[in-house]
Amino acid sequence: MDAGQAVLVTGGAGYIGSHACKALRGRGYLPVALDSLANGHAEFAKWGPLVVGDIGDEQLVSSVVRQYGVRAVLHFAALAEVEQSMRDPVLYYENNVAKSVGLIEALRGAGVDRLIFSSSCSVYGVPERSPIAEELGTNPISPYGESKLAIENLLRACDHAYGLRSVSLRYFNAAGADPQGEIGERPRAHSRLIPRAIEAALGLRPEVAIFGDDYSTRDGTAVRDYVHVEDVVDAHLSALDYLDAGAASTVLNLGAGIGHSVREVIVAVERITGRRIPTRIAPRRPGDPPELIASIYRAAELLNWRPRRSNLDTIIGSALAWQCGKPAEGVQLAGERPD
């Protein structure tokens, strides 16, 4: 695709989608954000036009694609809470799968032949070994993971049937914020550990619940692979280049290739903020595996991608800066001396 061409970004007013829009604009593309604003924020869509609507509205999607001359899509729009999906699986199949079918139908009718899909490591379920390579079998244990795998399978079939080439990017734990402090993860009743820990350190919540301390891990708490949101976005742009070069559809992991336990993350936030975080041991959450760490060799090989910002301190520092309303370089971490 030539610079200046439009890219449709579903969920473009959301956390990762808004970072993608900023990066696309920086590369000279026109990002067109399509977002229902159920979870997104209109003020985050400031690098291109915002179309408020539903990805399952085929007529709307077709109109937007034709109006802006869209030739490729970054598909982020989805519900993404594992615990919620366990309580209401129909909601997840309806919102994530059925609406993606509508989106793909509209794209097919409009002649769009490239799509990059925001998938998830939840498709692996409880993996047999770690780090997890893409060749490892998929066996999701939550409706959220099942919905992501269903879309991957649909995209594979659509490539064979219609020539819609795609890259499905299986994120591990996206975290952090824009270094310039323009966008980040809005505080809400979320289950993401790093924002919760920062909020507790800043006195915005009374404590952090640790969901399970009896896993078969080094300290009994769950281990996760944290990847900076900007590294995730870089992979999307590399995947766009990959498809533009005529390469075949594929599935790739995105992570740092390193795992941190819940307790280790909390200790890191305490060190960086200089504040103690009250914690409470809570029961395990349904659908939570003990350990998820990515093998990222395939993304390095096919996309020439590596996580350059995904050390834990950088991730936490950028998220803290966003919470404090400052650029990342403007926040002094505990123990640092001013120049």
| Active centre residues (catalytic) | 144
Rg of the chain over all Cα atoms, to the nearest angstrom: 19
Distance CA 142, CA 87 (A): 10
Strands 223-224 and 260-261: antiparallel
Pair 145, 125: CB distance under 8 Å: yes
Distance CA 256, CA 175 (A): 11
Q: In what order do the strands lie in the sheet with 6-10?
A: 50-52, 30-35, 6-10, 72-75, 114-120, 165-171, 250-254
User: Phi, psi (5° rounding) for residue 128?
Assistant: -75, -25
Distance CA 205, CA 324 (A): 15
Beta pairing partners, 6:
30
